[in-house]
Every structure is written in C-alpha cells, then in structure tokens.
C-alpha cells in the first residue's frame, strides 16, 4: 500500500496500520467454537484488537510473555492448567494485565478460588459480547 507524502507546511497523516490499535486481547479457551466467537467479537468491537489465542493455560503463559496483551479472557475449566491457576500465574508475573475469567457454568457453581486468584472479574460465556467487553475494560482496565 502506498502512502502519500505530505507537502511542506502540510500535516502528515498517520498510515492506518500505525494508528493506535486499541486494547490488546488474548483469548484462552480449550473450545475452538468459543475462541472463534470471541475473535469475531474482537474484530467487530472498535477499540479492541486480538493479539492471538491459546487453547491451554500453559500456552497462554507463553503468549502473554511474547505478546504482552492488556486484557486476557480465560476459561475457568480447561484440561491441564485450568483458568484459575492460569489467572494466578499471569497476574503474579504481569500485574498490569487484566485477567477476566469466563465460564459456561452459573457463577455460583464456579470454585471459590476464582474469586481469589487475581482475576478482575468472573463472567458467563453466555453474556460475552461487545457491550460486556467494553464494560469490563472501563471497570478494570482503563485505570
């Protein structure tokens, strides 16, 4: 893509790919269907940008270290390292990263440790969408 060079005295415009991209988000879930849905929400919600996805807690830790997302959405129940331990490790190593746990279960059925693992919030997958994403960032990330 070519960009026009500003003439003397004219303000240069920022190429689209260099404009501020918004809140960077990593989605962590062992279910491809939910990861695909979350990616669609991120693509269609202004101000948010996906930096990738992970299918396990172990993979999530690597991606957080490599790509430095601002917000991480993590499924509570996954094989191997579950979301609670993943949240605990991410927030311990990267206290500036906002971690949100997400679950298909009713929130009263989620283990109590979900409330003490460092995650900013616990939400239902059924409620996940653009509005909730913005509300979460306004409440916990836009500090």
**14, part of any domain:** no
Q: What is the mean pLDDT of residues 70-91?
A: 94
**75, part of any domain:** yes
> What is d(CA 66, CA 113) in angstroms, rounded to the nearest whole number?
27
Q: What is the pLDDT of residues 14-41, one digit of tens each?
A: 333 323 569 999 999 999 999 999 999 9
- Name which residue leads in pLDDT, 131 or 18: 131
72 φ, ψ to 5°? -125, 125
Whether this model's pTM surpasses 0.75? yes
**37, part of any domain:** yes
For residue 125, give the CATH number of its domain: 3.40.50.2300
> What is d(CA 67, CA 24) in angstroms, rounded to the nearest whole number?
9
Q: What is the mean pLDDT of residues 66-75?
A: 96
User: Which pLDDT belongs to residue 2?
Assistant: 32
Q: Which of 31, 70, 74, 20 is nearest to 50 (CA)?
A: 70
Report the number of distinct structural domains present in the chain: 1
Q: What is the pLDDT of residues 35-66, one digit of tens each?
A: 999 999 999 999 999 999 999 999 999 999 99
For residue 76, the enclosing domain spans 23-141
**106, part of any domain:** yes
50 φ, ψ to 5°? -75, 135
| Tokens of residue 109, six digits | 């059925």
| Percent of the chain predicted with pLDDT > 90 | 73
Q: Which of 105, 103, 102, 93 is nearest to 120 (CA)?
A: 102
**6, part of any domain:** no
- Name which residue leads in pLDDT, 20 or 89: 89
Q: What is the mean pLDDT of residues 67-79?
A: 95
38 φ, ψ to 5°? -65, -40
User: Which pLDDT belongs to residue 108?
Assistant: 67
């Amino acid at each position: 893509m070519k960009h026009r060079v500003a003439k003397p005295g004219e303000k240069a415009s920022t190429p689209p790919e260099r404009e501020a991209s918004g809140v960077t988000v990593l989605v962590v879930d062992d279910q491809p269907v939910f990861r695909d849905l979350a990616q669609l929400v991120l693509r269609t919600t202004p101000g948010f940008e996906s930096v990738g996805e992970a299918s396990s807690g172990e993979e999530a830790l690597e991606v957080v270290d490599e790509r430095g997302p601002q917000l991480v959405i993590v499924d509570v129940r996954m094989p191997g390292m579950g979301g609670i331990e993943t949240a605990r490790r991410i927030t311990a190593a990267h206290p500036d990263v906002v971690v949100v746990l997400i679950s298909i279960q009713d929130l009263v059925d989620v283990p109590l440790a979900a409330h003490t693992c460092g995650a900013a919030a616990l939400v239902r997958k059924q409620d996940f969408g653009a509005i909730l994403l913005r509300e979460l960032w306004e409440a916990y990330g836009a500090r």
